[in-house]
């Protein structure tokens, strides 16, 4: 089974801090994704990547950036954390674009 590992389960950060969320998958998947999930808003795509060093904006990229230096690792960066970025962040990967994703266990980020 594909394993998608997110480095932190819970994080608390201060407003204005630069925050790094890490995601690693172990099945050589080309495609990786970052979503945030909020009550009443569902899953919203922040960024995705089809290949190393390649990135595409999703639906809500403002305030975020990403890095994919190696195929197995996709990092989400909050340039200057704000309270409205408090959320559950979910990383996912897939072998074939548009096929079923495998999600990591999620990182619940609280910005205070």
Partner 1 sequence: QKEVEQNSGPLSVPEGAIASLNCTYSDRVSQSFFWYRQYSGKSPELIMSIYSNGDKEDGRFTAQLNKASQYVSLLIRDSQPSDSATYLCAVKHGSGNTGKLIFGQGTTLQVKP
To the nearest whole angstrom, how small is the minimum distance from the Cβ of residue 43 to partner 1? Answer: 4
Q: Is 40 in the site for partner 1 (CB under 8 A)?
A: yes
Q: Is 64 in the site for partner 1 (CB under 8 A)?
A: no
CA proximity to 91, closest of 79, 76, 80, 69 = 76
Within 10 angstroms of residue 78's Cβ, the number of other Cβ atoms is 19
To the nearest whole angstrom, how small is the minimum distance from the Cβ of residue 9 to partner 1? Answer: 10
Cβ proximity to partner 1, 76 vs 90, nearer residue: 90
Name 92's bridge partners: 33, 103
To the nearest whole angstrom, how small is the minimum distance from the Cβ of residue 47 to partner 1? Answer: 11
Report the SS3 class of residue 32: strand
Report the SS3 class of residue 83: helix
Binding positions for partner 1, rule: CB under 8 A: 33, 40-43, 45, 48, 58, 90, 97-106
């Amino acid at each position: 089974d594909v394993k998608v590992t997110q480095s932190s389960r819970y994080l608390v950060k201060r407003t204005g801090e630069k925050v790094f969320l890490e995601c690693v998958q172990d099945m050589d998947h080309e495609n990786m994704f970052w979503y945030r999930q909020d009550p009443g808003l569902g899953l919203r795509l922040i960024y995705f990547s089809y290949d190393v060093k390649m990135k595409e904006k999703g639906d809500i990229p403002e305030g975020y950036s990403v890095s994919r230096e190696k195929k197995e690792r996709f990092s989400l960066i909050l340039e200057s954390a704000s309270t409205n970025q408090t959320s559950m962040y979910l990383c996912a990967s897939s072998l074939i674009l548009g096929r079923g994703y495998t999600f990591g266990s999620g990182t619940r980020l609280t910005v205070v």
